[in-house]
């Protein structure tokens, strides 16, 4: 799945030289984010900088219900749908490699800068809103 992301222009930028290596680990029972992925830097020791980013991720889980926009070339009407695992991985990769959070107008910073460019370059729907039913 990381390989497919690396096949996109934005994925190549994120996974190119200069960033920390990324390690994908399975989600653990009782993980803080439920079935959804999250990422964090490893902590090698006191006062040591992180050496890698860990993304905890279950490739069999689809994302939460979100407002999505069809890929280019389809009628551009927003609809409610679930992002695919590869889109959630692209989202976490954006957090990991750029350090960006889910801030910005409507919490869309990471979505706009990383997740949506990857989705679009994979020919997948893009996210129109960070969540449904919450601001
Ligand atoms: Zn996020």
**DSSP assignment string, the chain:** -HHHHHTSHHHHHHHSTTSPPEEEE---TT-TTTTS-EEEE---STT-----EEEE--TT-----EEEEPPTTS----EEEPPPHHHHHHHHHHHHHH---S-SGGG-HHIIIIIHHHHHHTT--EESSS-SS--
For residue 72, the CA-to-ligand 1 centroid distance in Å is 24
Mean pLDDT of 116-135: 88
For residue 46, the CA-to-ligand 1 centroid distance in Å is 26
Read off φ and ψ for residue 76, nearest 5 degrees: -90, 70
In the structure, ligand 1 is a single-atom ion and the residues with CB under 5 Å from it are 102
For residue 44, the CA-to-ligand 1 centroid distance in Å is 24
For residue 77, the CA-to-ligand 1 centroid distance in Å is 24
For residue 73, the CA-to-ligand 1 centroid distance in Å is 27
Mean pLDDT of 3-31: 93
Instruction: Give the integer Cα–Cα distance in Å for 118 and 80.
Output: 19
CA distance between the termini of the chain:
30
39-93 pLDDT tens trace: 998 988 899 998 999 999 999 998 899 999 999 888 889 999 999 999 999 999 9
For residue 91, the CA-to-ligand 1 centroid distance in Å is 6
For residue 109, the CA-to-ligand 1 centroid distance in Å is 9
With vertex at residue 63, the alpha carbon angle to CA 28 and CA 2, rounded to the nearest 5 degrees, is 75
Is pTM, for the whole model, over 0.95? no
């Amino acid at each position: 799945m990381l390989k497919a992301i690396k096949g996109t222009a934005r994925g190549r930028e994120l996974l190119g030289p200069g960033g920390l290596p990324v390690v994908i680990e399975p989600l653990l029972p009782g993980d803080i984010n439920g079935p959804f992925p999250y990422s964090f830097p490893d902590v090698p020791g006191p006062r040591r900088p992180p050496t890698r980013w860990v993304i905890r991720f279950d490739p069999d889980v689809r994302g939460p219900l979100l407002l999505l926009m069809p890929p280019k070339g389809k009628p551009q009407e927003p609809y409610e749908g679930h992002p695919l695992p590869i889109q959630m991985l692209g989202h976490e990769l954006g957090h990991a490699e750029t350090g960006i959070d889910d801030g910005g107008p409507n919490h869309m910073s990471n979505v706009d800068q990383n997740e949506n460019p990857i989705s679009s370059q994979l020919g997948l729907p893009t996210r129109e809103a960070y969540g449904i039913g919450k601001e």
